[in-house]
Each structure stands twice: as C-alpha cells, then as structure tokens.
C-alpha cells in the first residue's frame, strides 16, 4: 500500500506543480521575476514533498501517516521559504520578510490541497485493495459452499445405486448364485474405482466412461439380453475434465424408466462430441419413451440439474427429449 502512495508522490510531478504555482504567483503580481518565483516555489514544494514522503514511508499506522502529512505542510513551507531566501541572498531584508509571508501562505494553501489530494488518493487505493480482498474472501466462501453442495449431491447418487444393486443381489443369491457372485465381484470393482475417484478433486470424461462401463456390466448381469449398450466417444475427448458421476443418474434413469419397463428391453447409447465450442453428451435409449416413462423430473435428473447449475451456472444445460424412433434422449451441453 505504501508503494502505491509513493507512486503518487513522484518528484517530477511535484516539480511540474511547483512550476505552475510560480506562474500563478506571477499572474497575480506576487514576487518579482518568474525565475525567483520558480526558485521559491520549488524550495517550498519539494520541502513539503520530502516531509510527506517521509511520513508515508516511516509512519507505522494510518493515523500517524495522516498526522505526519499534516505536520509536513507548515514545516515544509517554512523550511522552503528559509532555503529560498538564503539562496537569493535576501535574508533579513524587507522584501524577504514580505515575500516570506506571501510564499508561506500560498505554500500552505497549495501544499494543504495537494497533500490532501495525495492522501485521499492513497486512501482510495487502500479501500480498493480492501474491497478486492473482501471480494476474494466472498468468492472463496462461495466456492467452498458450492463444493459442499456438490459433495452432498454426489453422495446422494452413490447409495441410491448401491441399495438397488444390493437388493438385486439378494434376489440372485437365491435364484442364480453364479450370477450373484459375478455381480458381487463387479460391484466390488465399481466401488473400489468410485471411492478412488471421490478422493480426487477432478475427473475426466475418460474416467467417467470407464465407471459407466463397470456400472452397465453390473446391470447387464441382472437384465441379461434385455440390455444392450454402446459408447460413441472420440478418444480425443477422453482427457477432458468432467464432473464426477454426472452421467450415471442419466444412465440409471434411462434403464429404470425406459428400457426395463419395455418387454423386449432396449439399447442404451452414450455419445459425445464438440459442437460450436461446447461439449455435447447424449444419453439415449430405445425404451418406452416419455409418455410412459414420465416427464423426466425425478430425483436423478434434478440432481444432475443442480450440479450443472452449481458448476457452470447458466452456461450448461440438460434437455430431456423424445427420440424419433422411440425412447428418450438426455442431452447435456457444457462449456468446452
């Protein structure tokens, strides 16, 4: 903060102001020649400047800095008059006495105004810095709030899937122990991968695709040939950052409300691409469609909408629409 104040008190600027004061004195008939007025103005102005600079540099508190600036004005003006009269060799003369008083009063007037301006500009710089620090603290607090909200929303997804899978396991243990054993092994692998991801602060689209494959492998054990799935994601997009477990609710919603109620099952397709500088991901199914599955306003979809809103604001969107050939498509668009 002190460095910002010193940048306002540059000697070159002070010299220019002193030159203007010398011209003003000549214009109102004070003094003799412009050279004498220039010398006197420079002595007074630079003396005031030196006192203000010293106060701003060495005073430890804002109150002491202000007191130092106020004291520097009369002391600097007096010192400047003494130095100028000594240089001109007119100390003790009547001219020196009259000129000293006139110069002292004018120096006090201009010095007070300029010192006040410097102090106010320094105070404005301090207030701007405090405002930026406050805005930074508010931004950090908002970021922490959003992070807590995202962790809460993410935590809602994991037990939702886990409880459904455990219920399916309980049924398969009695009816098909071998399939139950395979499902349990896949579930353990999925949980291990998911827990490892949740310890990280970021994920990628490739990581999400790998988790979805494990997730669909588990569901395929329960649904058998009634569930078919395919991925259409270019390899160039796989390293891109992507929110953790954002797509799983869409996949689960498509299977639970679209494919599973259909007698012959259906196909799930996950496609990704870049369009107009935006990442577009489509989770589509060939299930029963919107009319029978509902309007798409359930828990999973609302969770996705809240996470998108928290992460990207209005820059991201989730659109649920019907497929021309039957089924539903959930379309997510994010800033690329």
State the residue range of the domain holding 106: 2-135
| pLDDT at 3 (0 to 100) | 42
Tokens of 120: 């106010």
Question: Do 121 and 192 belong to one domain?
Answer: no
Question: Do 195 and 319 belong to one domain?
Answer: yes
Tokens of 91: 């100390």
| pLDDT at 63 (0 to 100) | 74
pTM: 0.53
Q: Mean pLDDT over all residues of the chain?
A: 76
**pLDDT classification of 166: cutoffs 50, 70, 90:** confident
Residue 52 has pLDDT above 70, yes or no: yes
Which phi and psi angles does 230 have, rounded to 5°?
-145, 150
Among 233, 242, 250, smallest CA distance to 285 is for 250
147 found inside a domain: no
Per the CB < 8 A criterion, the answer to whether 84 and 44 are in contact is yes
Question: Do 129 and 180 belong to one domain?
Answer: no
Least confident interval from 111-120, 130-139, 227-236, 274-283: 111-120
216 found inside a domain: yes
Least confident interval from 114-128, 224-238, 296-310: 114-128
Tell me the per-residue pLDDT of 249-279, one tens digit each, with 9 for 90 and over.
Answer: 888 888 888 898 888 888 999 999 998 889 9
3-class secondary structure, 288: coil
| pLDDT at 230 (0 to 100) | 93
| pLDDT at 248 (0 to 100) | 83
Question: Do 257 and 109 belong to one domain?
Answer: no
Question: Do 196 and 329 belong to one domain?
Answer: yes
Question: Do 114 and 254 belong to one domain?
Answer: no
169 found inside a domain: no
| pLDDT at 181 (0 to 100) | 85
198 found inside a domain: yes
The mean pLDDT of 331-336, rounded to a whole number, is 89
300 found inside a domain: yes
Question: Do 331 and 204 belong to one domain?
Answer: yes
Question: Do 327 and 212 belong to one domain?
Answer: yes
Cα separation of 19 and 34, whole Å? 9
Question: Do 191 and 265 belong to one domain?
Answer: yes
Cα separation of 290 and 292, whole Å? 6
């Amino acid at each position: 903060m002190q460095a910002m104040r010193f940048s306002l008190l540059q000697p070159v600027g002070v010299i220019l102001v002193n030159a203007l004061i010398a011209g003003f004195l000549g214009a109102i008939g004070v003094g003799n020649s412009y050279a004498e007025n220039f010398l006197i103005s420079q002595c007074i102005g630079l003396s005031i400047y030196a006192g203000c600079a010293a106060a701003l540099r060495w005073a430890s508190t804002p109150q002491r800095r202000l007191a130092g600036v106020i004291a520097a004005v009369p002391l600097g003006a007096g010192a400047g008059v003494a130095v100028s009269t000594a240089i001109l060799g007119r100390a003790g003369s009547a001219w020196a006495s009259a000129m000293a008083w006139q110069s002292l009063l004018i120096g006090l007037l201009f010095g007070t105004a300029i010192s006040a301006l410097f102090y106010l500009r320094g105070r404005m710089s301090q207030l701007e810095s405090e405002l930026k620090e406050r805005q930074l603290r508010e931004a950090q607090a908002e970021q922490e709030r959003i992070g807590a909200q995202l962790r809460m929303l993410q935590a809602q997804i994991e037990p939702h899937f886990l409880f459904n899978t455990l219920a399916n396991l309980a049924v398969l243990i009695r009816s098909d122990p071998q399939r139950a054993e395979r499902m349990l092994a896949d579930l353990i692998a999925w949980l291990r991968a998911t827990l490892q991801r949740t310890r990280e602060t970021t994920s990628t689209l490739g990581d999400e695709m790998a988790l979805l494959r494990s997730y669909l492998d588990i569901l395929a054990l329960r649904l058998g040939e009634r569930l078919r799935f395919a991925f259409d994601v270019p390899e160039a997009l796989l390293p891109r950052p992507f929110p953790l477990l954002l797509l799983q609710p869409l996949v689960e919603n498509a299977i639970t409300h679209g494919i599973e109620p259909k007698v012959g099952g259906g196909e799930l397709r996950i496609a990704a691409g870049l369009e107009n500088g935006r990442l577009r991901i489509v989770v589509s199914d060939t299930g029963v469609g919107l009319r029978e599955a509902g309007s798409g306003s359930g828990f999973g979809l609302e969770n996705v909408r809240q996470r998108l809103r928290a992460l990207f604001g209005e820059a991201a969107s989730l659109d649920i629409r019907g497929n021309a050939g039957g089924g539903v498509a959930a379309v997510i668009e994010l800033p690329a």
